[in-house]
Structure 1
Amino acid sequence: MRWGDSMGLLGVGRVGVAVAAAGAVLAGCMPWQGEEPQDKKDTGVAAAAKASAAAAGQAALLKARLATAAKVHANELGQIPVLMYHRVVDKPTTQDDRTPQQFRAELERLAKEDYVPITAAEYVTGRIDIPAGRHPVVLTFDDSSPSQFDLDGMGAPKPQTAVAILQEVAQRHPGFRPVATFYVTRDMFGKTTPEEQAQMLVWLRDKGFDIGNHTRDHKSLRGKPEKQVSSEVAAGHRLITELLNTNPVTLALPYGNQPNQKEWGRKGVFGEISYDYGGVFLAGYTPAMSPFSKKFDPVGIPRIRSMDKTGDCAKFCSTAWLDWLKANADERYTSDGDAKTVAFPKFKAPFVVKRYTDRVLAY
């Protein structure tokens, strides 16, 4: 039920009264010129009673939903961790690499702390449908490495790839959705033919995964003219649509570098290719804002690099930020369990984006 529904339902009672009154006026115009027939009286009373019962039922439902939101301390204006991964390999060679053991341990932590994965597309469009009391997390993978995803001869994810590990953790933790967003480039998981590349993307899409644009050639967009920025983004867009026949919803900037005008990456045209994304992702360093909050910036959505508390990651990578969100639970996005509402404590009302005000459930 949407927040405004109760007002509409209360209006139903007034409609019932108006209908009854209209019936009385019409009765005076009828040939019998007397008291309204009993069967018509009964019909009017029944309609009014039905409307009143419906309004009472809706009011009770609203009360129950408010109670649920308050019980779980719902805060759907809170912060959401968007985690950034690259390769998942046994022997890391860069600061962006994670071992299969490290990746698995982080997923286990997320599951135990009541996080539920959603895709980047679901996040930016506000389609966050997770159980009450749970917290969304967006898992993103850049550069389409074979260590992230590959298939064996039977069409199953190869062991120790990121997708296989994610599915294994999800099997052990019911409710932990095995979904993520892959920001692909021309490398396309090491596949070289269009048929192989399409096979990979179709498998991911059919399993609920999300495919995002990372540009075809992974060149920095910083300092380039608008036409060149549009060319780079459009080439990545075409790469996906020709293989998958599905438009990507989000873009992850190569190296996290924004163009001179941030909007160039989100929306543009080059040749016959046009793109208009719901969100553009950076490469660090903080949790992201709820899409329902006025603080949400669709052209500069931060991500968090997956890493332990070492060096510059002592404060700004995944372990540190997950610790912070756990210690500051009132700052974290917590669901009320109803995807049709935006629930939060009443004092946060000034921060709701205007287009979502008809979904507000403030307690």
Structure 2
Amino acid sequence: MSRLSVGRAGMAVVAAGTLITGCMPWDDEPEDKGVTAAAKASAAAVQKAAVAKARTDKAAKAKANELGQIPVLMYHRVVAKPTNMDDRTPRQFRTELERLAKEGYVPVTAAEYVTGRIDIPEGRHAVVLTFDDASPSQLTLDGTGTPAPDTAVAILADVAKDNPGFRPVATFYVTRDMFGKSTPEEQTQMLSWLHDNGYDIGNHTKNHENLLGKPKKEVTAEISAGHRLITDLIEAAPVTLALPYGNQPSTEEWGLKGRSGDFSYKYGGVFRAGYTPAPSPFNKDFDPVGIPRIRAMDKKGSECSRFCSTAWLDWLQKNADERYTSDGDVETVAFPKFKKPFLTKGFTSQAVAY
């Protein structure tokens, strides 16, 4: 006796080995395949719609705004006795990191920022911590490879330990000073430690020369020398450049890409010292040749009362809808629907508007 069952598409399916009178097997085959393909397409469409709705609901719940502004903070030395406005004391540095953690910021590297790989939890805000000039106060290692107390790296690790989810990552823009180390072996130790522990290493040129007004040949030679300074020591090429003194060369694109002799470079972003938060990499305002950074400084007793880190973090706290807020999915770009005109076309396929 034949056994019949009803398939997902509502057709009668006959058990294997049974022949129905009046129908040849090859007569049924095209129809069966067509219905199966249609059923699969319908199921795929339903699944796609369900995924899209789940992503939209998640983004709305997180109040995601991945077109928002990101503070890129610029640090130099972290020393007990500051001698200029760029210096921060260990206490000041720790206090600022603790504030960032409390207000829901999660550090990402400059490389992650410019490439759009901002993988942070939903509802959290991206911040980029950058350190210029490779000072020993940023990183000094003892004989066991442990960062010395009160160095920037040690403080960052402490704050991350006390605040789960606050990533201990940053970008170090190095020069030939290389954390006070003079031999290639010692310099390799420092860069290897940073790389192996998830830190990002960027180019700050070899000699920290002002590129403003220099001819193209000198600009590209200095940038190339800085790049090779890093790659001659470790197998990790820099993804970004920080301009010495924040000054652009006469042609901005020379900082982004160029050639010197048989060596060429091409970066994902060039950082300045512009005193404002930076646009999201998914926003039309993002300009890879001149990304602004904010000088780390207190408002009190400072000439940067409106433009330094404390002031801008205050502003972003009061204007929460203007800052970058993640939906928790690195594969999507989520934002309120009315912000869609600011989305860069290259990310349209990843857009989740709610």
Pairwise same-fold verdict (TM > 0.5): yes
Say whether the 8 Å CA contact 1:288–1:301 is kept in structure 2: yes
User: 1:66: how far off?
Assistant: 0.2
User: 1:34: how far off?
Assistant: 5.7
- For structure 2, the residue ranges without an aligned partner over 5 or more in a row are 1-7, 12-21
Q: 1:274 to 1:42 in 2, by over 3 A?
A: closer
Match of 2:87 among 86, 94, 97: 97
In the other structure, the counterpart of 2:195 is: 205
In the other structure, the counterpart of 1:55 is: 45
In the other structure, the counterpart of 1:316 is: 307
In the other structure, the counterpart of 2:209 is: 219
**What amino acid is the match of 2:237?**
N
Q: Structure 1 CA distance, aligned partners of 2:240 and 2:151?
A: 24
Q: Structure 2 CA distance, aligned partners of 1:255 and 1:92?
A: 19
Q: Structure 1 CA distance, aligned partners of 2:60 and 2:225?
A: 47
Say whether the 8 Å CA contact 1:182–1:210 is kept in structure 2: yes
Match of 2:290 among 268, 290, 300: 300
In the other structure, the counterpart of 1:8 is: none
Q: Structure 2 CA distance, aligned partners of 1:361 and 1:239?
A: 41
Alpha-carbon RMSD across the aligned residues, in angstroms, is 2.1
Q: Structure 2 CA distance, aligned partners of 1:239 and 1:144?
A: 13
**What amino acid is the match of 1:198?**
T
In the other structure, the counterpart of 2:317 is: 326
In the other structure, the counterpart of 2:275 is: 285
Q: Structure 2 CA distance, aligned partners of 1:343 and 1:92?
A: 42
User: 1:57: how far off?
Assistant: 2.3
Give the secondary-structure state (helix, strand or coil) at the position aligned to 1:150.
coil
User: 1:33: how far off?
Assistant: 6.4
Give the secondary-structure state (helix, strand or coil) at the position aligned to 1:283.
coil
**What amino acid is the match of 1:322?**
L
Q: Cα deviation per residue 1:25-47 (whole Å; 9 max; x = unaligned)?
A: xxxxxxx7668777886676555
Match of 1:351 among 332, 342, 348: 342
Q: Cα deviation per residue 1:267-286 (whole Å; 9 max; x = unaligned)?
A: 11111221111100001210
User: 1:338: how far off?
Assistant: 0.7
In the other structure, the counterpart of 1:266 is: 256
- For structure 1, the residue ranges without an aligned partner over 5 or more in a row are 1-15, 21-31
User: 1:52: how far off?
Assistant: 2.8
Q: Structure 2 CA distance, aligned partners of 1:38 and 1:221?
A: 75
Q: Structure 2 CA distance, aligned partners of 1:51 and 1:33?
A: 27
- Does residue 175 in structure 1 map to residue 145 in structure 2? no
Residues matched between the structures, number: 336
In the other structure, the counterpart of 1:342 is: 333
Q: Cα deviation per residue 1:74-93 (whole Å; 9 max; x = unaligned)?
A: 11111000000000000000
In the other structure, the counterpart of 1:360 is: 351
Q: Structure 2 CA distance, aligned partners of 1:125 and 1:49?
A: 39
Match of 2:127 among 113, 132, 137: 137
**What amino acid is the match of 2:247?**
N
Say whether the 8 Å CA contact 1:131–1:336 is kept in structure 2: yes
**What amino acid is the match of 1:233?**
I
TM-score (norm 1): 0.88
Say whether the 8 Å CA contact 1:238–1:273 is kept in structure 2: no
Q: Structure 2 CA distance, aligned partners of 1:40 and 1:230?
A: 64
Q: Structure 2 CA distance, aligned partners of 1:50 and 1:297?
A: 43
Q: Cα deviation per residue 1:87-109 (whole Å; 9 max; x = unaligned)?
A: 00000001000000000010000
Q: Structure 2 CA distance, aligned partners of 1:245 and 1:34?
A: 66
Q: Structure 1 CA distance, aligned partners of 2:30 and 2:165?
A: 53
> Any residues of structure 2 matched to 1:41-120 within 5 Å, and which?
45=35, 48-120=38-110
Normalized per residue, the structure richer in helix is 1
In the other structure, the counterpart of 1:237 is: 227
Give the secondary-structure state (helix, strand or coil) at the position aligned to 1:243.
coil
**What amino acid is the match of 1:199?**
Q
In the other structure, the counterpart of 1:3 is: none
**What amino acid is the match of 1:320?**
A
Q: Structure 1 CA distance, aligned partners of 2:325 and 2:125?
A: 5
Give the secondary-structure state (helix, strand or coil) at the position aligned to 1:313.
coil
Give the secondary-structure state (helix, strand or coil) at the position aligned to 1:230.
helix
User: 1:162: how far off?
Assistant: 0.4
Give the secondary-structure state (helix, strand or coil) at the position aligned to 1:244.
coil
In the other structure, the counterpart of 1:9 is: none
In the other structure, the counterpart of 1:4 is: none
Q: Structure 2 CA distance, aligned partners of 1:33 and 1:162?
A: 80
**What amino acid is the match of 2:259?**
V
- The more displaced of 297-306 and 46-55 is 46-55
User: 1:51: how far off?
Assistant: 3.9
Q: Structure 1 CA distance, aligned partners of 2:25 and 2:176?
A: 82
